[in-house]
């Protein structure tokens, strides 16, 4: 099963688990199997090999942190009510201090929920909750779909540690585009959502691809290239994400085909 399929299943499972106060491994597995069937991926997954431990652990941690924050918020609200009633400035200052601490904790918790741990870019959860609403864009913008070239070759020949470093390096390059948000869509696929014009976005990614093409990366005695293909499309508020991604995906794969054709011609003339 591809990484993006696994990520899609995980996002769907975590979204449904929010409706339950207590999550058991049995419940997790039942929801997991249900989502696999809904996404028509049953033939790609061995049910008896599903491991829920890591995802459940993360879910429990977030659940406990959220409960603690809600408890603190409730306590501070009661103290604030009491302070206002008694005109107690000292208690109000104490409440204000605790609220600032709570807001900082909530902010960090939100970052944890929305952050891809490897690349420190945003994840699919951020995309579906902050950029979209029920598959529709919340505002106008430009979307770029990015897929690394020959990433499987890098992983297979140099190992996943090198592959992870490549993903982090590419993410940092993508973050150089101003007024934009980088989202790891799954595996070696990224989405960049920007408020810049389409022309500026295209120019940035063309320059970035050219910059990478002039570099060689080394692992021990071996050298390799890193590159990516991309597609860019404008979208308007309330446009369907699925429809826009289908278009931008085609642009990206056309670029991949052109690269393969050029490589073939180079080999023929060599």
Whether the per-residue pLDDT at 65 is higher than 80: the answer is no
CA dist., res. 216 & res. 224, Å (int): 6
Whether the per-residue pLDDT at 205 is higher than 90: the answer is yes
Whether the per-residue pLDDT at 159 is higher than 80: the answer is yes
The pLDDT of residue 234:
97
HEC-encoded secondary structure of 95-123: HHHHHHHHHHHHHHHHHHHHECCCCCCEC
In this structure, of 40-44, 154-158, 193-197, the range with the lowest mean pLDDT score is 40-44
In this structure, of 98-107, 147-156, 164-173, 216-225, the range with the lowest mean pLDDT score is 98-107
Sorted by where each starts, the structural domains of the chain and their CATH numbers stand as 3-114 (no CATH), 134-269 (3.30.70.270)
Q: Which of 40, 116, 188, 199 is catalytic?
A: 188
Known catalytic residue: 5? no
DSSP H helix total and E strand total for the chain: 9, 8
Tens-place pLDDT, residues 97-123: 666 666 665 666 666 678 888 898 998
Mean pLDDT of the chain: 78
Tens-place pLDDT, residues 41-63: 555 544 444 444 555 555 556 65
Whether the per-residue pLDDT at 64 is higher than 50: the answer is yes
The pLDDT of residue 267:
44
Listed residue (192, 73, 197, 52) closest to 127, CA to CA: 192
b/e burial code for range 117-128 (CB count within 10 A of at least 16 → b): eebebbbbbbbb
CA dist., res. 57 & res. 54, Å (int): 5
């Amino acid at each position: 099963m591809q990484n993006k399929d696994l990520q899609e299943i995980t996002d769907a499972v975590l979204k449904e688990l929010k409706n339950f106060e207590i999550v058991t491994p049995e419940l997790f597995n039942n929801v997991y199997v249900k989502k696999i069937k809904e996404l028509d991926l049953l033939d790609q997954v061995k049910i008896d090999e599903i491991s829920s431990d890591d995802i459940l652990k993360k879910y429990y941690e977030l659940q406990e942190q959220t409960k603690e924050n809600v408890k603190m918020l409730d306590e501070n609200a009661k103290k604030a009510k009491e302070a206002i009633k008694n005109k107690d400035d000292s208690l109000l200052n104490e409440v204000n201090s605790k609220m600032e601490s709570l807001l900082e904790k909530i902010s960090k918790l939100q970052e944890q929920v929305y952050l891809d741990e490897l690349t420190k870019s945003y994840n699919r959860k951020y995309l579906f909750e902050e950029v979209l609403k029920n598959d529709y864009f919340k505002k106008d913008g430009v979307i770029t779909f990015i897929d690394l070239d020959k990433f499987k070759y890098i992983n297979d020949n140099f190992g996943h540690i090198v592959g992870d470093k490549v993903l982090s390096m590419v993410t940092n390059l993508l973050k150089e585009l101003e007024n934009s948000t980088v989202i790891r869509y799954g595996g070696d696929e990224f989405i960049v959502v920007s408020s810049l014009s389409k022309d500026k976005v295209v120019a940035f990614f063309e320059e970035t691809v050219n910059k990478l093409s002039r570099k060689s990366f080394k692992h021990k005695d071996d050298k390799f290239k890193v590159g990516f293909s991309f597609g860019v499309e404008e979208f308007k508020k309330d446009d369907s994400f699925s429809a826009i991604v289908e278009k931008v995906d085609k642009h990206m794969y056309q670029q991949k085909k052109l690269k393969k054709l050029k490589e073939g011609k180079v080999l023929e003339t060599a």
